[in-house]
Structure 1
Amino acid sequence: METFWDTFKRHGVSRRDFLKFATTITGMMGLAPTMIPEVVRAMETKPRVPVIWIHGLECTCCSESFIRSATPLASDVVLSMISLEYDDTLSAAAGEPLEEHRKKIMKEYWGNYILAVEGNPPLGEDGMYCIVAGKPFLEHLKESAEGAKAIIAWGSCASWGCVQAAKPNPTTAVPVDKVITNKPIIKVPGCPPIAEVMTGVVMYLVLFDRIPPLDSQGRPKMFYGNRIHDTCYRRAFFNAGQFVERFDDENAKKGWCLYKVGCRGPTTYNQCGSIRWYNGLSYPIQAGHGCIGCAEKDFWDNGPFYQRLTSIPVPKQEADADKVGAAVAAAAVGGAIIHGVASKIRNSGKKE
């Protein structure tokens, strides 16, 4: 297969633009600038990696997010950086020819292809709640995973189970790691995940041929190392005890903290506050809606979305300038009265 650089040259990309691209990719993967030469070297020497992308119980929001990646463009990733060999949503082919191609790629690149899984397998009724290519997705997943060198679990469906696994879970839907236990799995939760987080994970895995550093739950630390609360521009209002009490109150118009109306930012790990969505345009909190914690396990069952978490202590509201001024004035008046009383006592003592 071609290297990344060979593919870029074939598409008429200059060396200068190639280096700019490598620099951008390095930043998107959360790597230090000192890693730029290593990224460039990898892109010059590494062949494009075959990717098989399959879909179980899901709403396709992960694919919808992925194709909206701006840095890098999803088209650049698919056409120049990976070899997307199978995707029953994005592939032009369909039916038996597409399934035969999947099996051909699995055989030809056994142990060297990446399996991307969007959605999850239902175990109920022998997997009959989700049928792909004429057989249960459960079988489709096991077969596709057998020769993969690594698996990417896209979104909260594949990572945690999401709404399909919410109580009472009638289809017995489970996350991917409950079925595939003998392969390294990178969880990229979110409903959906941020587009640039998805492309960043793919690029790290492809360029360095290794799993990125993961946290205790299997998520890439470079994207899930901080709480949304830690990067939120409304954090200053939280610290000051200035909260929105209702979505239509004056405090909401001022852009105060949304924690009291149910924001899960203090317990949710993701990059929404820094990378944001739609090429850095916005994210739910910026748009005026609290975080619902969609990147966290069992978020659908973790209580009402519009009820604050009681485990996070709420700071007392900071006094505004008028209140501070009034308090200072009252203290000054009180001091004057006390001073006057003390003076009278002293003076009466002298008269005696």
Structure 2
Amino acid sequence: MSKSVSFESYLSQQGVSRRSFLKYCAAMASLLALPASAIPALSEKLRHAVRPSVIWLSFQECTGCTESLTRSHAPTIEELMFDYISLDYHHTLQAASGEAAEQARIDTMNHSYGKYLLIVDGSIPIANGGVYSTIAGRTNLDILKECSAGAAAVIAVGSCAAFGGLPAAEPNPTGATSVASLMDMKLIAEKYLVNIPGCPPLPVAISGVLAHYLAFDKFPALDELKRPVNFYGNTVHERCSRYHFYKEEKFAESFDDEGARKGWCLYKLGCKGPVTHNACAVHKWNKGTSFPVESGHPCIGCSEPDFWDRGGLYQSMDDIAFAFKPVNETTDSAVEEGRNLYQDNCVYCHSTNASEFEVDAENISKLLRDNSIRAHRRLEFSNDQIKILEAYLKSTK
């Protein structure tokens, strides 16, 4: 199909009726958290939209992100998205190989320079010249640098591309790095970036972002980590099917006790749902059948930065976050002591960059003292420790 043909014409050629198209638009509006009044505008935009060229690069990854998208049930938004876009290069899905495959990528870059979307999954190794992952004899960094130069925008799919993921876990021997970090280090061109984390991310999160761009010629609103708010604006915990058991303080103590058989909350078994932003509990997997927590496994927090290094998978956050080291009384600087306290205890649930806290340091101290947050109830910080933590947080502003 020619890239200049409108989406409406293409659907007509495929035998898709106007009625089916409008039903699709209604589903898409709901997915993107748009009001019902937006459906006519969405359908009008999509009717005349022209498919953008897409280059999909896979680096240090397990192919789970591609599997997530391609294993969706039919007919769905995920499946139709392959008709919405012109997927011109994806070395897992394309029929071409070798020189023909690389020529397809080069041709797309030349023909659509400044207009194509670049999708990246997998982290990028930069240690020892990036030798740990190569394609056609070239390092991942070299290929990404070439492709990002002419991209209209970059979409980092999966936690490896968005945050470094499992390859970047300590001690990170390959120097696995996220797309955002490479932009910050000026190693690749700085482009508009959208992160769609998850290990792997939900199929509808990938397709929904692409549909929003196609319909409105822009991406949906992003949070401070460049994640689409409509998918990552709430925690898994807030919309979990076990949430009412959490409120009732009914917790499974082991995977085979009576509480587990009754579907009680998995918080004490290491569920990271309270600090993990994702829409798993809403959109689910396998035709909307279930998601990990509903199936009996605690959330591992895979859509958050550094999730692999933030503590044991089956330990309660109470036990991980607050098994802190005592303050070193020989340290002269209260700020330095506070920094150590923060690094030893708080980064498991919060950003490693304390300057990102929107709450004032004084209010954080108040929250720590009144035990109003469940994850802090076992906290045994002394007043002196809270004071030095407050001093450190103030110093980061």
**TM-score (structure 2 length as normaliser):** 0.77
Measured after TM superposition, the shift of residue 147 of structure 1 is: 0.5
Matched, 1:208 2:216: yes
Q: Given the alignment of the two structures, is residue 303 of structure 1 paired with residue 311 of structure 2, yes or no?
A: yes
Query: Residue by residue, what CA displacement relative to the aligned partner does 1:234-255 show, whole Å, maximum 9, x if unpaired?
Result: 1111111110111111111111
SS at match of 2:88: strand
Cα drift, residue 74 of structure 1:
3.6
CA deviations 1:134-175 (Å, max 9, x no partner) are 100110111111110111100000001111000000000010
Q: What one-letter code is carried by the residue in structure 2 that aligns with 1:77?
A: M
Tell me which of 281, 288, 313 is aligned to 2:296: 288
| Structure 1 runs not aligned, ≥5 long | 317-352
Residue 242 of structure 2 is aligned with which of 229, 234, 255? 234
Deviation at 1:315, TM superposition (A): 11
Residue identity in the other structure for 2:307: F
Q: Which residue of 123, 128, 135 maps to 1:125?
A: 128
CA displacement at 1:90 relative to structure 2: 0.3
RMSD between superposed Cα atoms in Å: 1.5
CA contact (8 A) 1:162 1:300 kept: yes
Offset of residue 109 of structure 1? 0.8
Q: 1:52-74, CA deviations, whole angstroms, 9 ceiling, x for partnerless residues?
A: 00110000000000112346354
Instruction: Give the conservation status (yes or no) of the 8 Å contact 2:114–2:150.
Output: yes
Q: Which amino acid aligns with 1:50?
A: S
Structure 1 residue aligned with 2:167: 164
Pairs within 5 Å for 1:166-181: 166-181=169-184
Partner of 1:14: 17
Distance 2:7 2:71 in 1: 21
SS at match of 1:255: coil
Q: Distance in 1 between matches of 2:33 and 2:211?
A: 11
2:268 is paired with a residue of what secondary structure? helix
Q: Does 1:65 align with 2:36?
A: no
Larger Rg: 1
| Structure-1 separation of matches of 2:206 and 2:129 | 31
Where structure 2 has 5 or more consecutive residues not aligned to the other structure, the ranges are 185-189, 322-372, 378-397
Q: Provide, for residues 271-300 of structure 1, a one-character-per-residue CA deviation record: whole Å limited to 9, x for no partner.
A: 011111112100001111100000110000
SS of the residue 2:194 aligns to:
strand
Counterpart-to-counterpart distance in 1, 2:278 and 2:78: 21
- Residues 105-143 of structure 1 show CA distances to partners (whole Å, capped at 9, x for unaligned) of 111111111000010110011011000121001101111
Which residue number in structure 1 is paired with residue 115 of structure 2? 112
Q: Distance in 2 between matches of 1:204 and 1:133?
A: 33
CA drift of 1:314 comes to 6.4
Say whether the 8 Å CA contact 2:65–2:199 is kept in structure 1: yes
| Contact 1:72 1:199 (C-alpha < 8 Å) held by counterparts | no
Distance (Å, rounded) in 2 between the aligned partners of 1:30 and 1:142:
34
Deviation at 1:41, TM superposition (A): 1.0
| Alignment of 1:24 onto 2:85 | no
Contact 2:46 2:214 (8 Å CA) reproduced: no
Q: Does 1:91 align with 2:83?
A: no
1:268-287 aligned at under 5 Å gives the runs: 268-287=276-295
Letter in 2 for 1:130: S
Distance 1:6 1:244, change over 3 A: same
Corresponding residue of 2:354: none
Do the aligned residues in 1 keep the contact of 2:292 with 2:298 (CA within 8 Å)? yes
Is the contact made by 2:28 and 2:77 (CA closer than 8 Å) also made in structure 1?
no
